[in-house]
Copies of this chain bind each other. A is one copy, B any other.
């Protein structure tokens, strides 16, 4: 939502307040400004963003449908928290979708897309040797997005992006785990070479491994404060 390509033109598609709010809140949740568990009071949000409760409520309903917040009738909304089990389920689903995209990318990326993917991967190699964690994290997002797009299916692309958004609030510190950068890059290497070679089964398997490895790395840094514990 935040990177909608044609949002700024005074064209006939100007966004409504509810849409702007939904984007803003989503961004704040993903970036950690609003941490999981935060109560989203309608009156408070309305005041904070200078609008009435009506567009706030519409935005909240939109976010609830996409899973970024939890809403219960007459009980209000909170930024979605997850149990460890549910987080694991999200990672499994993410792994399956990413693996599917990798498989399809191996089958249907055009030469330019393959070239770009390789270039991106090479660039990330340099970031590893520089231990540039933040830059690597940014490039990593681009890398995975390239594979979602390489599948050439807008429905899967949309789902992959949504799933990634739901996981983002929980995985910010992932690349801080010791040695994680190198391992990530090595796993990417397998994915990239399989995609370039058109080996769809290898691409699937390599990506599945990679995402599970991400989950493990995540477990290590333990962002318990964001995860419901009982």
CA of A191 to CA of B154, assembled, Å: 27
Residues from 1 to 59 in A contacting B, C-beta threshold 8 Å: 13-16, 18-19, 54, 57-58
Task: Kindly report how many copies of this chain are found in the complex they form together.
Answer: 2
**A121 CB → nearest B CB, Å:** 24
CA of A62 to CA of B61, assembled, Å: 6
Q: Is the CB of B163 within 8 A of A93?
A: no
Q: Is the CB of A89 within 8 A of B13?
A: no
Answer whether residue A73 sits at the interface, using C-beta atoms and an 8 A cutoff. Answer: yes
**Could you give, for residues 158-202 of chain A, a 1 whenever the CB lies within 8 Å of some chain B CB and a 0 otherwise?**
010001000000000000000000000000000000000000000
Q: Is the CB of A89 within 8 A of B155?
A: yes
Answer whether residue A65 sits at the interface, using C-beta atoms and an 8 A cutoff. Answer: yes
Residue from the list B13, B14, B73, B155 in contact with A163, Cβ < 8 A: B155
Answer whether residue A153 sits at the interface, using C-beta atoms and an 8 A cutoff. Answer: yes
Answer whether residue A118 sits at the interface, using C-beta atoms and an 8 A cutoff. Answer: no
Give the interface centre of A18, A93, A153 by most chain B CB atoms within 10 Å.
Answer: A93
Residue from the list B61, B72, B92 in contact with A58, Cβ < 8 A: B61
